[in-house]
Amino acid sequence: MSGQNPLAPEDWCRLGSANVSDALRKHDKAFQSMQSGITPLSSDMKVAGPAFTVRCYPGATWAMEQALERAAPGDVLVIDGGASPDVILMGGLMSTRAKARGIAGAVLDAAVRDVDDVIALGFPVFSRHICPRAGTFEEIGELQVTICCGRIPVNPGDWVVADRSGIVVVPPDMLAGVAETAQAIHQREEAMAERLAAGDSFEQAAEAIT
């Protein structure tokens, strides 16, 4: 299956994590959704792009600051912070730097702070915890390695689709097939919604669009 990505990030966002998750399941990848505990700081936040992976010792922000300078524009930072709730790995200043560099967003299995600042900035951040306590600058961490985030493995370059419904990860060699399937699912669900809104039952709507 071709690894070529036929869709722009905004098109993946339009399809949404739920449709992409359904498409992955049709391609025998049923376990590509992160745990529901990792959520956006604001309900309107959404992001799609290739993963730049970071493994941090809980609260040690050194690797995060390295990632901010090494990630490419359009990348999504995906951070394994050990799900630690008591000390942060990202806040308003890091989000400001990330946005200035063109980084698309961040997904953290960790804690963040400065929530109001991040929301005002408009930088998409998804995190497991919120905590005001600052981290340290211990030089502990790894970049661009396979990590565990939200209890699923994430590799550098995996495609991330994140929104209010959840976060899914698409392996690069499946992008073309999953994109095609997700678009078909999206179109079918739009047609189903129109029929249901017009008064059809689920059975009638399904028959009408078959």
What is the domain extent for residue 104? Answer: 9-195
Is it the case that residue 58 has pLDDT exceeding 60? yes
Predicted local confidence at residue 87, as pLDDT: 95
The DSSP H or E segment spanning 168 is strand 166-170
Mean pLDDT (the chain, rounded): 95
- Structure confidence by residue, pLDDT tens digits, 147-206: 999 999 999 999 999 999 999 999 999 999 999 999 999 999 999 899 999 998 989 988
Do the domain assignments include residue 208?
no
Cβ–Cβ < 8 Å for 16, 161: yes
pLDDT band for position 135 (50/70/90)?
A: confident
> Scanning the structure block, which residue is given the tokens 């997700």?
182
DSSP 86: S
b (16+ CB within 10 A) / e for 71-84? beeebbbbbbbebb
Q: Does residue 30 belong to any structural domain of this protein?
A: yes
Please say if the pLDDT value at position 33 is more than 80: yes
AA identity, residue 51: A
Q: Any idea what the CATH number is for the domain that residue 27 is in?
A: 3.50.30.40
Whole-number pLDDT of residue 2? 42
- Residue 1 has what pLDDT? 36
- How many CB atoms are located within 10 Å of the residue 101 CB? 14
Secondary structure of 172-206 in HEC code, one letter for each residue: HHHHHHHHHHHHHHHHHHHHHHHHHHCCCCHHHHH
Instruction: Count the domains in the chain.
Output: 1
Of residues 122, 88, 91, 86, the one with CA closest to residue 104: 122
Residue 3 included in any domain: no
Contact 27, 173 (CB under 8 A): no
Residue 3's pLDDT is what? 61
101-115 average pLDDT score: 98
Q: What is the pLDDT of residue 173?
A: 96
pLDDT of residue 205: 87
Give the pLDDT score at 149: 98
Residue 27 CB burial class (10 angstroms; 0-12, 13-18, ≥19): middle
Give the pair of three-digit tokens for residue 134. Answer: 């600052």
Banded model confidence at residue 210, pLDDT cuts 50, 70, 90: confident
Per-residue model confidence (pLDDT) at position 208? 85
On the question of pLDDT at 115 being above 80, the answer is yes
